[in-house]
Amino acid sequence: MNIARDDELAGLHVFDSSLLQKQPNLPTQYIWPNGDLVPNQDELNETLIDLNGFFKGDKMETAHAAQLLRAACLNHGFFQVTNHGVDPSLIRAAHQEIDTIFNLPLHKKLSLRRQSGGLYGYSGAHADRFSSKLPWKETFTFGYHENDSHPIVVDYFKNFLGEDFQPTGWVYQRYCEEMRRLSLVILELLEVSLGVERFHYRKFFEGGSSIMRCNLYPPCNSPGLTLGTGPHCDPTSLTILHQDEVGGLQVFADNKWQAIRPRPDAFVINIGDTFMALSNGKYKSCMHRAVVNRERERRSLVFFVCPKEDKVVRPPQDLVRREGTRKYPDFTWSDLLDFTQNHYRADVATLQSFFQWLLSSKSF
Ligand SMILES: C=C1C[C@]23C[C@H]1CC[C@H]2[C@]1(C)CCC[C@@](C)(C(=O)O)[C@H]1[C@@H]3C(=O)O
Ligand SMILES: O=C(O)CCC(=O)C(=O)O
Ligand SMILES: [Fe+2]
């Protein structure tokens, strides 16, 4: 067993934060460039959208929520929602299960690590994918799509982690179902706010496979030198994030880094590159990052809404007619996903680099 373990670890850079913390200096692979480390200056005075009116079917309140959402998305693409209907005890359980996963022994976590080119499984600082600017975090990622005959998340946990992980699988099964329900509400508000045909976006996302990720950010002795998640725009469509009370999520808006204050009763929603393209560039996919701190471990739960892989990403006709011109060429989510997993490390310029790559790969 030990030999197998050593074999497995040989040649691998392994993220063991408590061991790394004992070293006198932060290893260079974890040090980020100064430009990415500029401290935040402010807290974002972010839009808070109460979904109660929408759920009651109140037209005035829904219109008001859509207006707030529109202003936030035109400006930077970040807002928070309250009265979302997700049971607080489910959110708490989903946070607790993060520990069930990351408290596993290192050799077990390594046996679950994501395979080259794949997205699902365990990753410690993405150390087996990258050799510099390593993010100070552990992640566990899995897929979710609607399936009436199988609880697919439960099956994944049972098959991948073992029978004992069935209860964990159920927590995330329910959590993902709730995230999907919430994503449909947000898509409807996005339709209202952009004045596009009712259900247009909801239909577009039918049958999509979303990505669920659990993040654990351990404390770090040199929080000013590294980042938990580096500056990036999400390449996906919509992101629904729940951060614990520690705080660390920051957005680059109005030309400065601004912190998003944690609210246990709220989900942070942001527009990703793919939705920016679906809105013909009107709604912003905003640069954000997660910082770490010296004292406290931080957890976040992130649900990335994605369309079905072969769907062609293009804005609705009525929007293009009003706008006059198309801002981006057609693409499929599967090509953009492939780009981020096999050709390019997602950052703040993913979409532009992707279009260049598409153009150059088509010309061969
Ligand atoms: C399609 C994806 C690429 C990333 C995982 C999903 C959704 C968001 C992307 C990511 C989180 C953006 C920041 C950089 C990244 C490498 C990370 O720090 O985790 C990104 C993801 C990835 O490729 O793993
Ligand atoms: O953990 C966070 O607060 C941010 C994570 C994030 O931006 C991401 O995973 O895309
Ligand atoms: Fe992100």
The rounded percent of the chain whose pLDDT value lies above 70 is 96
> Cα(246)–Cα(88) distance, rounded to whole angstroms?
17
Nearest alpha carbon, ligand 1 atom 17: 229
Task: Kindly tell me if the per-residue pLDDT of 46 is higher than 90.
Answer: no
Q: What value does the mean pLDDT take over residues 292-315? A: 97
Which residue is catalytic, options 298, 299, 321, 326? 298
Count the alpha carbons within 13 Å of 317 in the hemisphere toward its beta carbon.
0
Q: What value does the mean pLDDT take over residues 22-48? A: 95
Q: Which of 19, 35, 6 is nearest to 252 (CA)?
A: 35
Nearest alpha carbon, ligand 1 atom 14: 346
Nearest alpha carbon, ligand 2 atom 3: 249
Split at pLDDT 50, 70, 90, the class of 362 is low
Assigned domain for 12 exists:
no
Mean pLDDT of all residues in the chain?
95
- Tell me, what's the pLDDT at 10? 57
Assigned domain for 209 exists:
yes
The rounded percent of the chain whose pLDDT value lies above 90 is 92
Ligand 3 mean position, distance from CA 216 (Å): 14
Residues 272/277/279/284 CA torsion (nearest 10 deg):
40
Strand order across the beta sheet in which 249-253 lies: 42-43, 256-259, 249-253, 288-290, 229-232
Range of the domain at 114: 29-362
Q: What value does the mean pLDDT take over residues 73-90? A: 98
ipTM of the complex: 0.99
Task: Kindly tell me if the per-residue pLDDT of 1 is higher than 50.
Answer: no
Split at pLDDT 50, 70, 90, the class of 11 is low
Task: Kindly tell me if the per-residue pLDDT of 2 is higher than 50.
Answer: no
Find out whether the beta carbon of 286 lies less than 6 Å from any atom of ligand 2: no
Split at pLDDT 50, 70, 90, the class of 198 is very high
Task: Kindly tell me if the per-residue pLDDT of 337 is higher than 90.
Answer: yes
Nearest alpha carbon, ligand 2 atom 1: 300
Split at pLDDT 50, 70, 90, the class of 13 is confident
SS3 204: helix
Split at pLDDT 50, 70, 90, the class of 116 is confident
Find out whether the beta carbon of 340 lies less than 6 Å from any atom of ligand 1: yes
CA 59 → CA 54, 329, 350, distances in Å?
7, 35, 38
**What total of structural domains would you count in the chain?**
1
Find out whether the beta carbon of 215 lies less than 6 Å from any atom of ligand 1: no
Assigned domain for 355 exists:
yes
Ligand 1 mean position, distance from CA 285 (Å): 14
- The ligand whose atoms approach the alpha carbon of 244 most closely is 2
- Tell me, what's the pLDDT at 7? 46
Assigned domain for 55 exists:
yes
> Cα(220)–Cα(308) distance, rounded to whole angstroms?
38
- Tell me, what's the pLDDT at 148? 87
Assigned domain for 20 exists:
no
Q: How far is CA 158 from the centre of its chain?
A: 24
- Tell me, what's the pLDDT at 3? 37
Find out whether the beta carbon of 305 lies less than 6 Å from any atom of ligand 2: no
Ligand 1 mean position, distance from CA 331 (Å): 19
Catalytic residue check, 113 = no
Find out whether the beta carbon of 151 lies less than 6 Å from any atom of ligand 1: no
Query: Which CATH number does the domain housing residue 142 bear?
Result: 2.60.120.330
Which residue type is seen at 68? Answer: L
The secondary structure of residue 303, as a DSSP letter, is E
Tens of pLDDT, residues 205-253: 999 999 999 999 999 999 999 999 999 999 999 999 999 999 999 999 9
- Tell me, what's the pLDDT at 4? 37
- Tell me, what's the pLDDT at 285? 98
Tens of pLDDT, residues 161-181: 999 999 999 999 999 999 999
Assigned domain for 24 exists:
no
Task: Kindly tell me if the per-residue pLDDT of 91 is higher than 60.
Answer: yes
Task: Kindly tell me if the per-residue pLDDT of 132 is higher than 70.
Answer: yes
Ligand 2 mean position, distance from CA 232 (Å): 9
Ligand 3 mean position, distance from CA 341 (Å): 15
Task: Kindly tell me if the per-residue pLDDT of 146 is higher than 50.
Answer: yes
Assigned domain for 96 exists:
yes
- The ligand whose atoms approach the alpha carbon of 347 most closely is 1
Mutational pocket test of ligand 1: of 232, 285, 309, 353, the residue with most ligand atoms within 8 Å of the beta carbon = 232
Long-range contacts, stretch 322-325, CB < 8 angstroms, 24+ apart: 322/195, 323/280, 323/282
- Tell me, what's the pLDDT at 262? 97
Assigned domain for 215 exists:
yes
